[in-house]
Chain A
Amino acid sequence: MLEVKDLRYAVNNNGASQEIIPAMSYRFQKGRFYAITGPNGSGKTTLAKLIMGIYAATAGKIILDGVDITAKPVNERAQAGIAYSFQHPARFKGITFRELISIAANTDDATEILRLMKRVGICSLSHLDIPVDGKLSGGEIKKIELATTIARNPKVAIYDEPDTGIDLWTIEPMVKLIKNEQVNHGTTTIVVSHNKAFLEAADTVLILRGGQFFFDGTFAEALPHLNNISVCDYRTCGDKTYDECFR
């Protein structure tokens, strides 16, 4: 089980402390599929990065299977069983598909690396030694990102906007793959997304607003809120104040 307790994250905004996540508490049950959605700027990616350790919490605790991991760096959280799929994956000059998956899966076995590549829809042998660099398309880089996440066989898999850059025809197989990983390996799965396909596939939909979950339930129950989410009640947009704004 993954738990966040009184988790806070604040940033310095021109000398003033601005709270992005104000004292959040939540328990992610083992083996469930959570979809986190909400308006832009509501703190979805921030929460995901706090769990992975990419951002350091201002206060509060993050507990994985009873162990406080709040102070652990990213690599130790990875070794503890958390995997993270970045919305905008890093590109490297020199590191190839083979090397990146090899690091993720901790194996040099080409057959296993190819099997992982095939699972995300990269079937060409010639891709093995292609660098994961700026020449890849948005779809290719997201597929390799997905492959490195499932290669970890993690306890907790976090996918930040996995459909960014992916064509419409690839989203459904991607949802199936993530769902299969959850079901077959008991992976606690957290997907940050606006995409209906991921929200429908989730056991639990969490709607985030102002750094807090204001909804926790099934997709069917979430629908009325989701239909209304394009109109947010943020009081401040930039340097102007609105009663309502369209996001």
Chain B
Amino acid sequence: MNAFDKLDKELLRAVADLEGIPKGAFNIRKNGALLARECNANIEIENNAKGTGIIIRIKANTRNESVHIPVILSQAGLYDVVENDFIIGENCDVAIIAGCGIHCGSDQQEGHAGIHSFHLARNARVRYVEKHIAIGDGSGKRALNPTTKVQLDSGAHLEMELTQLGGVDEALRVNEVVVDEGASLQIIEKVMTAKRQTATSQTSILLRGKGARSNMISRSVIRDDSRQVLYAVMEAMAPCFGHIECDAIIMDRGTNETVPSLKALHPDAELTHEASIGKIADEQLMKLMSLGLSYDEAVNRIIQSFLK
């Protein structure tokens, strides 16, 4: 990674677990401009016509390949907006690793809004991992506002792992997914906020086809005086199955609002949800302390595992 400075490397490691040039295709964006790109025989990456982002096309039947598309920001005052389209061919089985890392070294605001649109053709399988993190000693506000829109054709499967673990002052995440016949969706969203940070997540899932399945798991940790809000709406228009599970651990003086919503527009739809908000249970702390961990070690272990 000779093209990258020390800070770039730190951010890339944090958001995409990259220790060097990734294997397979990649597109690395820094401060609103292309830093590095690699395509291969099955994965094509090009700028979109408006010049506002990229189009990633993955050929049908591509299997066991990955695409890394991290974004890093370290330019004071920059709010980077990017529109990326992912067109995944039939029967693919691939991983897409995205994410944004911000380094703020000044008192000016920095931010990123990644607007991602996915189209998974029939029987395609994708694992999509997106991590957000902000670091640096600057006092400027760090904002991350991702939007993810997904169309799952029949039999397609998408796993979305969305993580925001620290340093982001303000986040608004929007997820909109349409699940067609026999397709399935798994969303795992993990967010930790601290200080006076706020994070809002709005997810809408439309189960449109017969046999569609969706499972959404949200894990929130709210430290200090931070605040998180989660709206999760699941709407079923066919005989299908959907489940929403939202758990929030409040530490210190944080607040949380969790609003799961289920709409069955078909008599054979089966929708469930469970939600909990609260402090770490005393019985959990006592169990770990009875195994020899200190109070702080027990708290950290519980939080780490909860967000794993």
Residues on A close to B: CB < 8 A? Answer: 52, 54, 73-75, 78-79, 83-84, 86, 88-90, 92-96, 99-100, 103-104, 106, 148, 152
**Chain B 261-282 interface residues, beta-carbon cutoff 8 Å to A:** 281
Assembled-state Cα–Cα distance A90/B280 (Å): 11
B295's partner among A75, A88, A104, A152 (CB-CB below 8 A) is A75
Q: Is the CB of B301 within 8 A of A75?
A: no
For A74, give the chain B residue with the smallest CB separation.
B289
Given A90-B283, A92-B284: A83 and B290 interface contact (C-beta under 8 Å): yes
For A85, give the chain B residue with the smallest CB separation.
B290
Q: Is the CB of B305 within 8 A of A95?
A: yes
Q: Is the CB of B306 within 8 A of A93?
A: yes
B288 proximity list for chain A (CB < 8 A): 103
Q: Is the CB of A75 within 8 A of B293?
A: yes
A148 proximity list for chain B (CB < 8 A): 291
For A75, give the chain B residue with the smallest CB separation.
B289
Interface centre among B284, B291, B298, B302 (most CB of A within 10 A): B291
Interface centre among A84, A93, A99 (most CB of B within 10 A): A93
A99 proximity list for chain B (CB < 8 A): 301, 305
B294 proximity list for chain A (CB < 8 A): 75
Assembled-state Cα–Cα distance A54/B305 (Å): 23
A92 proximity list for chain B (CB < 8 A): 284, 302, 305-306
A68 to chain B, nearest CB (A): 19
A172 to chain B, nearest CB (A): 26
Given A92-B305, A93-B247: A75 and B284 interface contact (C-beta under 8 Å): no
A104 proximity list for chain B (CB < 8 A): 291
For B247, give the chain A residue with the smallest CB separation.
A93
Judge if B50 is at the interface, Cβ distance under 8 Å. no
A-B residue pairs in contact (CB < 8 Å), sample of 11: A73-B295, A74-B286, A75-B293, A75-B294, A78-B289, A78-B290, A78-B291, A92-B284, A93-B219, A95-B301, A96-B305
Assembled-state Cα–Cα distance A75/B286 (Å): 9
B6 proximity list for chain A (CB < 8 A): none
B290 proximity list for chain A (CB < 8 A): 52, 54, 74-75, 78, 83-84, 86
The 6 closest A-B CB pairs, nearest first, are A94-B305, A90-B287, A74-B289, A90-B283, A75-B289, A78-B292
Assembled-state Cα–Cα distance A210/B291 (Å): 30
B24 to chain A, nearest CB (A): 27
Q: Is the CB of A73 within 8 A of B283?
A: no
Q: Is the CB of A94 within 8 A of B308?
A: yes
Assembled-state Cα–Cα distance A93/B248 (Å): 11
B205 to chain A, nearest CB (A): 22
Interface size class of B (residues with CB under 8 A): 20 to 34
For B304, give the chain A residue with the smallest CB separation.
A94
A73 proximity list for chain B (CB < 8 A): 289, 295
Contact pattern, B 9-26, Cβ under 8 Å of A = 1, otherwise 0: 000000000000000000
Judge if B307 is at the interface, Cβ distance under 8 Å. yes
B246 to chain A, nearest CB (A): 11
Assembled-state Cα–Cα distance A95/B299 (Å): 12
A54 proximity list for chain B (CB < 8 A): 286, 290
Assembled-state Cα–Cα distance A75/B308 (Å): 24
Assembled-state Cα–Cα distance A83/B286 (Å): 12
B5 to chain A, nearest CB (A): 35
Task: Known A-B contacts: A74-B286, A94-B304, A104-B291. Give 10 more (CB < 8 A).
Answer: A75-B292, A78-B289, A83-B290, A86-B286, A86-B290, A88-B283, A92-B302, A92-B305, A93-B305, A94-B219
Q: Is the CB of A95 within 8 A of B302?
A: yes
B308 proximity list for chain A (CB < 8 A): 94
Q: Is the CB of B293 within 8 A of A103?
A: yes
Assembled-state Cα–Cα distance A78/B285 (Å): 13
A164 to chain B, nearest CB (A): 14
Interface centre among B284, B301, B305 (most CB of A within 10 A): B305
Interface centre among B290, B292, B298, B301 (most CB of A within 10 A): B290
Interface centre among B287, B304, B305 (most CB of A within 10 A): B287
A96 proximity list for chain B (CB < 8 A): 305
A84 proximity list for chain B (CB < 8 A): 290
Assembled-state Cα–Cα distance A185/B307 (Å): 38
Assembled-state Cα–Cα distance A55/B308 (Å): 31
A89 proximity list for chain B (CB < 8 A): 287
For A95, give the chain B residue with the smallest CB separation.
B305
Assembled-state Cα–Cα distance A54/B307 (Å): 27
A86 proximity list for chain B (CB < 8 A): 283, 286-287, 290
A122 to chain B, nearest CB (A): 18
Assembled-state Cα–Cα distance A103/B289 (Å): 10
Assembled-state Cα–Cα distance A78/B289 (Å): 8
B291 proximity list for chain A (CB < 8 A): 78, 100, 103-104, 148, 152
Contact pattern, B 51-94, Cβ under 8 Å of A = 1, otherwise 0: 00000000000000000000000000000000000000000000
For B293, give the chain A residue with the smallest CB separation.
A75
For B306, give the chain A residue with the smallest CB separation.
A94
B298 proximity list for chain A (CB < 8 A): 75
For B298, give the chain A residue with the smallest CB separation.
A75
